[in-house]
Structure 1
Amino acid sequence: MYFADRADAGRQLAARLGHLQGRDVIVLGLPRGGVPVAAEVAEALGAPLDICLVRKLGVPGRPELAMGAIGEGGVRVVNERIVGDAGVAERDLAAAEERERAVMAERARTYRGSRRPVPLEGRTVVVVDDGLATGATALAACRVVRAGGAARIVLAVPVAPHGWADRLGGEADETVAVHAPEGFYAVGQFYREFEQTPDAEVVERLDRSRAARAAVVRHTAVRIPAGGPVLPGDLAVPDGAAGLVLFAHGSGSGRHSPRNRAVAAALNGAGLATLLFDLLTEAEATDRSRVFDTPLLAERLGHAAVWTAGWSGTEGLPRGYFGASTGAAAALWAAAEPGDDVAAVVSRGGRPDLAGDRLAGVRAPTLLVVGGSDDLVLDLNRRAGELLRCEHRLEVVPGAGHLFEEPGALEEVAALATDWFAAHFAAAVAGRDQ
């Protein structure tokens, strides 16, 4: 007997993972039993906690014996030896997979709700379970994480059979176990308490972790020198910010735009700093020729970017541009400037066509988000996508109009932007460290 319960196992496992402290780490627990263990590891490392959804494929009549496993993204692992020894027919294997994929989809809705998975791209991911027996589930989890773009995978369990790492075929970059005994029959034999973890506990652990990591955001009213005029802005910097997003608003709008402020709040909640500022002075805002002067607006955005690079709290942070409507053209124009090292661009209901020939010069990964009912702008964005030479993607929010006023539409924009910036900021930081 090694562990009192899963929480005890998690604390003992966390003690073996201290070398990951301070790195850009995500901890993923395998539901259900792996989540209480992973929660202790995430707390000790000060890292976000999420889940990695995989399902064991049990041998018919012997569900405790894994003949394989499946995971999100179509991942499938089959232990041919066990399938052969147990005489499992192909139709029975297919039926088990169909059944478990339905369960996995339901679990995703239960555990995540409308939240998206934490972005893994370019990060170190610690995959945690309450123990390892055949290794099929862990193998599937590693493949799911690798497909998600993880830079490094650490598979960590409290207990596993002797020589367990050899079963993984190099799928994990690092393996950690507190105990790896010779006499191994089942994971539960090494726990004093090993009752099944209820769904409610999984959800509670995830919610508690998110609440504990809710960032303290410092809001500062700033004035930005922009090559002549001084422009007012609102700078919000969460503790430990992972990047900075500068907003370029559309015509007739400014730093008080309720839609941009809603997206900025979501970014702040995800640990990203934001700058909302007026691209024009009050007098200039009444001049229609200035409102649609894309080169001028892009120049002002560039001045703001330079200013933030020297501001205490945002210096050194990877930077992104979020452009709305005509402001998207200014963001793309600025991103095409020689020497602009912006890490990512997001356009909301944007007019990228107003950036013209500059589109071909954009180097930053660009996400174009358009409402499904915004036919004209959707067509313009499809055409713009053909001109972009950088990494780019078009996301259509079903049923949304130009202003994304429909229920849940703006929340979808915020979630898409958060994922895009978080992933590409992490990649930018990883590139600097190489």
Structure 2
Amino acid sequence: MKTIENLLRMVSGSLKIIHILDKSCKEINVKDVYLLNEDTLCCDFYPAARNSYDIKLEMTAIMGCFNGIFRNDQYDNVDLKNYAVRAFDQDDNEILYALSTKATAEFIGTGRSIEWLTSTFFQENTEDYRLAQAKQIISEIENGLREIVKLKFKDKFGDEWWDNEIDHKIKRDVKKIYFNNFEVDCNDGNVLIAYTFTLQVKAIILSNFSLFSAYFQSPSQFESSMDDLNKLRREEAHNRPISHLDLETLQHLHEDLLSIVLLDLKSFQSVFLTENWRSKIKRIMKEWQYKPIHPQKEIDTESDQVKKLFKIKENLSSFIAYLDNTIIKLKSVSAPIHKKSIHLELLSCYEDYRKLQKLLFNETLTLDNEKISDIINQIRSHELKMDEFSTKFLLSEK
């Protein structure tokens, strides 16, 4: 029988020569091959391509190799359920992650690679993906700030707010931009505000900061954030590469500049924050599914009561640890304003579930069957509530 270590070496070796065996495949620069969570075979590699689509094609070859080796379940000591592939750049930053069930990977072996691509979970961080994300974030910040300027100035100064309150040079420059685009004169501030640049929006807000003091920590903090935004705006506008650090900075700026503003712009929902939140929740739920140490059938058929109790305790302990980790991950995800309610409801479901599981663990040690039965009934009732919430969640986030 081949050991798992030898199997992993065999898979790594196969990947390294796949371009020799199949001329349509590129050479795969394998970083590592290993097991995740006992049932997931994972390969880390350095792709030759830089854009998302071509990297996915390289991943298809790796998944195809996995499928070719393990499709017939000929190795008794491994029970694989999933395949994962992680692409890294030369600085060892993860740029693309793919997770596929073993059954889904069968599509590759039967010439249905497109179905595999559409059925596989991907988490992207490629150069083109980062640039697209940067454009989305910057657009949302600028448009959100323009909208709040229009709202606050109109409330304070009336319909003539643009003519009466905006700096003369800004008005002149923005009108010129509009005319150059459309060869039509425009004096409507509600239209012209959409053609202001980042630094012009900064100047407008700072000129009447008292109107916006509830949204930002201080004038200096706001000015600093807008200057940082403008630097990254220039990089994005010229389609220059956006680094991991740049994207993280933009994400922080998005939160700093819009988190409170969006409370007054309920219809101005953030596509970036919503999709980021949705993908993080999906990843937590899909990537880290719980697998008990001892299957229920094993526990049910255990005749030795001491061993049976030990296995029950081990399962409960590992399940509580799983719930602890899930709760920590859920708390780490930043929910957009319009998703905070359902996010807190999701978190509460898991926290209440963990509390009941801890009660069951403690009572299991006392062997008080009446109390244990009562807690099990509470858990079942809570699981019904969680099922109802799951249905509501899936319907709202499909």
Q: Give the TM-score taking structure 1 as reference length.
A: 0.25
Query: More relative contact order in 1 or in 2 (CA 8 Å, sep 6+)?
Result: 1
- Which structure has more strand as a fraction of its residues? 1
Which structure's CA Rg is the greater one?
A: 2
- Which structure has more helix as a fraction of its residues? 2
